[in-house]
Copies of this chain bind each other. A is one copy, B any other.
Amino acid sequence: MKEGPDIARIAALIGEPARANMLTALMSGKALTATELAGEAGVTLQTASGHLAKLRDGDLVQVRKQGRHKYFALAHADVATTLEALMGLAAGQGALRTRTGPKDAAMRQARVCYNHLAGQMGVQMFGSLLQRGLIWQEGEALGLTEAGKGFVCDFGVDVDGLSMARAPLCRSCLDWSERRTHLAGSLGRAMLARMETLDWVRRDRDSRALLFTSRGSAAFSRAFT
């Protein structure tokens, strides 16, 4: 009856609509201020403040103070993974919030997950890298091969700089729409950033969807067949 970790505490934390909206918004990977999150959740600032304090207590979000702003972000990648798992369950039973909006298709094709590429394109990239022996996978563990290191360098990402940092280079993340793994970790983040620099892809103003430019779309399928 009372074995294992206390699942109810954090599930309840996520299970409040206002807080769930905030967390969903933070899945974009961007750090948002309390006021912005209040807007996302559709509550007043006071209410949001209370919620954010609870999320903080529960170690689901992380705060950075900057001047008179407070920037909130997901505490770590595991939180994003868990949220995706929950989305998988919710989507599986066809319980999309309202009707599936026009953005839904775009979201499934490509979107930002925490800070890396997810959706069909994300899964495609992951599969391509794996098949060509540029990354290896063993259980949950994931890494870049020597060949992969070369490839990523050519792509324009500073691998050595990334591997110096203490954050894991490669991480796997389960896609809620595709139910497949895609590439997360600091490399996943860097790859997406690089694609944005190359103007392959642009972020949608007010959703997590990613819009590939026609040039980017062609280049992407050439690079990750």
User: Which of B8, B92, B96 touches A17 (beta carbons < 8 Å)?
Assistant: B8
Asked whether, in the complex, the Cβ of B83 is within 8 Å of the Cβ of A1, the reply is no
Please give, as numbers and ranges, the residues of chain B lying within 8 Å of A92 by CB-CB distance.
59, 78
- Cβ-defined contact, A101 with B3, below 8 A: yes
As for how many copies of this chain the complex holds, the number is 2
| Majority secondary structure, A binding face | helix
Are B13 and A1 in contact (CB-based, < 8 A)? no
Total number of A residues with any Cβ neighbor in B under 8 Å = 69
Query: Which residue from B8, B86, B180, B207 sits with its C-beta under 8 Å from A7?
Result: B86
Query: In this complex, what residue of B is CB-closest to A209?
Result: B3
- Residue of A82, A130, A181, A208 with most chain B CB atoms under a 10 A cut-off: A82
A90 / chain B contacts, CB cutoff of 8 Å? 5-7, 9-10
Alpha-carbon separation in the docked complex, A25 to B103 (Å): 39
Could you tell me if A12 and B10 are in contact, using CB atoms closer than 8 angstroms? no
Q: Which residues of A contact B (CB under 8 A)?
A: 1-17, 19-21, 23-25, 39-42, 58-60, 78-79, 81-83, 85-93, 95-98, 101, 103-104, 107, 123, 126-127, 130-131, 137-141, 174, 176, 179-181, 207-208
Q: A78-B85, A82-B86, A139-B180 are in contact. List 4 more A-B contacts (CB 8 A).
A: A6-B96, A7-B14, A15-B15, A130-B139
